[in-house]
Amino acid sequence: MIKLFPFIRKYYLMIALVIVLLFIQAMADLTLPDYLAKIVNYGIQPLEAQQSAGSVTVESQSNLVLNTGLMMLVLTLVSVTAAISVGLLSARVAAGVARDLRDSVFTRVLDFSSGEISQFSSASLITRATNDVTQLQTVTQMIMRMVFYAPIIGIGGFIKALNTAPSLLWVIILMAVIVLGVIISAFAIVLPKYKIIQQLLDKLNLVMRENLNGLFVVRAFNQQKHEEARFDQANKDLTKTTLFVSRVMVFLMPLMMFLMSATSLVVVWAGAQHVEAGQLQVGDMMAFMQYTMQIFMAFMFMAMMFFIIPRASVSAERIAEVLNTTPLINDPVNPRKFSDKSRARVEFRDVSFHYPDAEEDVLHNVSFTAEAGKTTAFIGTTGSGKSTVVSLIPRFYDLTKGEILINGVNIKDVNRSDLRDMIGYIPQKSNLFTGTIRSNLLFGDNEASEETILKASEIAQAADFINTAEEGLEMSISQGGGNVSGGQRQRLAIARALVKKAPILIFDDSFSALDFRTDAALRAALKDQLSGSTIFLVSQRVSTIKNSDQIIVLNEGKIIGKGTHSELLETNEIYRDIALSQLTPEELK
Residues 153 to 192 in contact with another protein, rule: CB under 8 A: none
The site for another protein, by CB under 8 A, has a size of 181
Q: Between 353 and 425, whose beta carbon lies closer to another protein?
A: 425
DSSP H or E stretch at residue 579: helix 573-582
Least distance from another protein to the Cβ atom of residue 335, Å: 14
Q: Between 313 and 401, whose beta carbon lies closer to another protein?
A: 313
Residues in 121-150 that interact with another protein by CB under 8 A: 122-123, 125-127, 129-131, 134-135, 137, 141, 145
92 binds another protein (CB under 8 A): yes
573 binds another protein (CB under 8 A): no
129 residue type, one letter: A
Which of the stretches 8-16, 103-111, 356-364, 368-376 binds another protein when contact is defined by CB under 8 A?
Answer: 103-111
463 binds another protein (CB under 8 A): no
Q: Between 87 and 563, whose beta carbon lies closer to another protein?
A: 87
Q: How far apart are CA 295 and CA 492, in angstroms?
A: 66
Binding residue (CB under 8 A) for another protein from 30, 175, 183, 289: 289
Q: How far apart are CA 29 and CA 149, in angstroms?
A: 12
DSSP H or E stretch at residue 560: strand 558-563
Least distance from another protein to the Cβ atom of residue 61, Å: 5
Least distance from another protein to the Cβ atom of residue 350, Å: 25
265 binds another protein (CB under 8 A): yes
- CA atoms within 13 Å, Cβ hemisphere of 79: 15
Least distance from another protein to the Cβ atom of residue 82, Å: 9
557 binds another protein (CB under 8 A): no
What's the gap between Cα 431 and its chain centre?
Answer: 20
Residues in 320-379 that interact with another protein by CB under 8 A: none
Pattern of binders to another protein over 22-61, x per CB under 8 A?
-------x--x--xx--xx--xxx-xxx--x-----x--x
316 binds another protein (CB under 8 A): no
210 binds another protein (CB under 8 A): yes
Picking from 502, 336, 348, the residue whose alpha carbon sits closest to that of residue 414 is: 336
232 binds another protein (CB under 8 A): yes
Q: How many degrees, rounded to 5, is the angle at CA 267 between CA 263 and CA 272?
A: 155
533 binds another protein (CB under 8 A): no
Which of the stretches 10-18, 100-108, 339-347, 356-364 binds another protein when contact is defined by CB under 8 A?
Answer: 100-108
90 binds another protein (CB under 8 A): yes
Q: Between 51 and 367, whose beta carbon lies closer to another protein?
A: 51
3-state SS record for 156-190:
HHHHHHHHHCHHHHHHHHHHHHHHHHHHHHHHHHH
Q: Are the C-beta atoms of 418 and 467 separated by less than 8 Å?
A: no
User: Greatest CA separation found in the chain?
Assistant: 129
Least distance from another protein to the Cβ atom of residue 321, Å: 15
Q: How far apart are CA 276 and CA 289, in angstroms?
A: 17
152 binds another protein (CB under 8 A): no
Binding residue (CB under 8 A) for another protein from 285, 351, 363, 552: 285
Residues in 400-419 that interact with another protein by CB under 8 A: 416-417
DSSP H or E stretch at residue 490: helix 486-499
80 binds another protein (CB under 8 A): yes
Q: Between 291 and 443, whose beta carbon lies closer to another protein?
A: 443
194 binds another protein (CB under 8 A): yes
Q: Between 87 and 349, whose beta carbon lies closer to another protein?
A: 87
Helix, strand or coil, per DSSP, at residue 523 = helix
99 binds another protein (CB under 8 A): yes
Q: How far apart are CA 422 and CA 411, in angstroms?
A: 11
Binding residue (CB under 8 A) for another protein from 363, 535, 546, 557: 546
Q: Are the C-beta atoms of 256 and 300 separated by less than 8 Å?
A: yes
Q: Are the C-beta atoms of 509 and 387 separated by less than 8 Å?
A: yes
Which of the stretches 14-22, 151-159, 193-201, 338-346 binds another protein when contact is defined by CB under 8 A?
Answer: 193-201
Binding residue (CB under 8 A) for another protein from 6, 69, 332, 532: 69
What's the gap between Cα 577 and its chain centre?
Answer: 46
Binding residue (CB under 8 A) for another protein from 163, 185, 213, 476: 213
| Exposure letters 413-452 (e unless 16+ CB within 10 A, then b) | ebebebbbbbbbbbbeebebeebbbbbbbbbbbeebeeeb
Q: How far apart are CA 93 and CA 8, in angstroms?
A: 8
Quick one: the chain helix, strand, coil %, rounded to 5? 70, 10, 20
383 binds another protein (CB under 8 A): yes
Binding residue (CB under 8 A) for another protein from 31, 119, 167, 235: 235
CA distances to 234, 278, 333, 422 from 321, rounded to whole Å, are 32, 63, 27, 33
83 binds another protein (CB under 8 A): yes
State phi, psi for 361 to the nearest 5 degrees: -65, 140
Q: Between 367 and 449, whose beta carbon lies closer to another protein?
A: 449
- Who contacts 318 (Cβ-Cβ below 8 Å, separation ≥6)? 127, 128, 132
Binding residue (CB under 8 A) for another protein from 403, 469, 574, 576: 574
Binding residue (CB under 8 A) for another protein from 1, 147, 520, 569: 520
Which of the stretches 166-174, 205-213, 367-375, 467-475 binds another protein when contact is defined by CB under 8 A?
Answer: 205-213
Q: Between 218 and 302, whose beta carbon lies closer to another protein?
A: 218
Q: Are the C-beta atoms of 171 and 267 separated by less than 8 Å?
A: yes
For the four alpha carbons of 207, 212, 217 and 220, in that order, the dihedral sign comes to: positive
- Who contacts 114 (Cβ-Cβ below 8 Å, separation ≥6)? 391, 396, 397
For the four alpha carbons of 522, 528, 532 and 536, in that order, the dihedral sign comes to: positive
Q: Between 349 and 433, whose beta carbon lies closer to another protein?
A: 433
560 binds another protein (CB under 8 A): no
